Structure 1
Amino acid sequence: MAHVVGVLALDGVVPVDLAIPCEVFDRARGADGAPFYEVRVCGEMPDVRARPFGLRVPHGLDALRAVDTLVIPGIDDPTAGVATAALAAIVQAWEAGARIASICSGAFVLAATGLLAGRRATTHWLAAPYLAERYPAIAVDPNALFVDEGRIVTSAGASAGLDMCLHLVRRDLGQAAAARSARLAVAPLDRDGGQAQFIRYEPPRCHASLAPVLEWMRANVDRPLTVAVLAARAGMSARTFARRFHEQTGTTPMQWLLLARIRRGQELLESCDASIDQVASASGFAASVTFRSRFRQVTGVSPAAYRARFNAER
């Protein structure tokens, strides 16, 4: 008997998020070559708006009662309220034993049901701070491509939804079937690094008395800066400067400087062919080994891997 996958198409659904689970699960095959999944696109209304076009949804919310896996794609406006009927249908599917997965801002729909409370979850890195603020009972991981909590799985945006669906195929059918699905999707089965590599790191800004010092720090990240040097620049004692800095930025001078240096490193890796040693020096790191270590800690990938993915010239 087929494993039924219900894909919830709410009004304002993100088309790529809707298409990914339909493609991955519809094409997956078991060891005998037979289809393993039956995909049903379900919605509250028969006609759904999906950005530049509309969709005709073949199944209503009642169909979710019989699904084994329910996938909730992202929606255009995660701040908009979700119809009570749709939330109730998700909860009913959960209570009936379904596995529930969300893609991108679909995490906001899932969060509105209360099922994510007390769990780890992720969403698109741009929306992660808002998800954490709106639902403080959720442990939001803004770096993860997807978070597997057993019967509840959440993923980041767009291509991370593909990573998650391939992961679910691997859970259900094993490594070989997941590898076949990945080849059909022309995608890697496992990606190194998380969402961190896609974030352009900007240290905190402030509009108070230290703003000129922060701008000077940003312009001079390649210099050997210390708290004493920065305090002198601000005309304060080191202790007063450190206290004021934390009050106005929420972080320490050295942590702020580290993010500014990583940001400079990202810019250089994206835009020029200088060696990693030269990028390290221009970003304020005395040794390239330190730059490589700090860069990986912050972004999740090595400087070389980052350049290979984001340098337009290459």
Structure 2
Amino acid sequence: MSAFNLTASSPPTFILNGIPGLETAHIWISIPFSLFYVISLVGNFTVLFVVSKEQTLHKPMYLLLCMLALTDIGMSTCVVPKALCIFWFGFKTITVDGCLTQMFFLYMFAVTHSAILVTMGFDRYVAICDPLRYATILTNARIAKLGLVGLIRAVLLVLPVPLLLRKLPFCANPLILHTYCEYVAVLKISCGNTSINQTYGRVITIVNIGLDLTFIVLTYGLIIRAVLRISFKKAHWKALNTCTAHICVMLMTYTPFLFSALTQRLHPGITSHIHILLTNLYFLVPPMLNSIIYGVKTKELRNKVGKYTCRM
């Protein structure tokens, strides 16, 4: 089989197939895609606008919420516009550079998103377990530094992904069976040895999801232990209620990813269109719901949003 190498001076293009097996339903599938994307943009930009305008919201928790909103906007924007171009206009081609760029920013935003969730867990731990020192431990400057560390970690982890892919030979006229340049889908059309790429992909999963989830679980273990030491039951509920928004966002983020990863490995016979829909949901549903969850569960933010809504 003929092949081309990505190091060539004039690299050819890839073809994104969309959702194989459901081509006739692409127009109908585009409706929830576009709806989720619009809701995500409106919700997250509303959070950014309200927090930036309200001086009383210039606190560590809301700074973290703004970081989360930015990564949500970034993740969904990396996926949805190109998917809608495929669904609506049949624009399936993407340059090699465009594909690798999309992949880099998509996974960079995802890894940063996970780091922010870890920082949010630490924020809740300090707020419940050491409330008297909260203002001195978690300042806005310190939160900004933690966010920068999360971003740098994401860049360092994800940057080798496109660099390693660029060294691979790919089959002529390669067809990517996906709506975006998903890492595994791109590896499947390579004519070369992808063992290094596959190993590094597992390393990213372990470092990003494995370590981050472990840290979050340990954090909530310490929170639950501290809450159980409180003698009043009302205090139990009040303390845990401050964590519900973060728990909901965390479940919305990690559950689709883990479910997709497990079904792909434990049930390799699962139809491709189901797996593709699941991976797309990971970049569609959490960005749409995160701002809604925090808007509903956080009274102070809810009141400020209501104030600006009433002015319109």
How would you bin the TM-score normalised by the shorter chain? under 0.3
Q: Which has the higher helix share?
A: 2
User: Which structure: larger Rg?
Assistant: 1
Q: Which has the higher strand share?
A: 1
How does the TM-score come out when normalised to structure 2? 0.26
How does the TM-score come out when normalised to structure 1? 0.26
Higher relative contact order structure (alpha carbons within 8 Å, sequence separation ≥ 6): 2
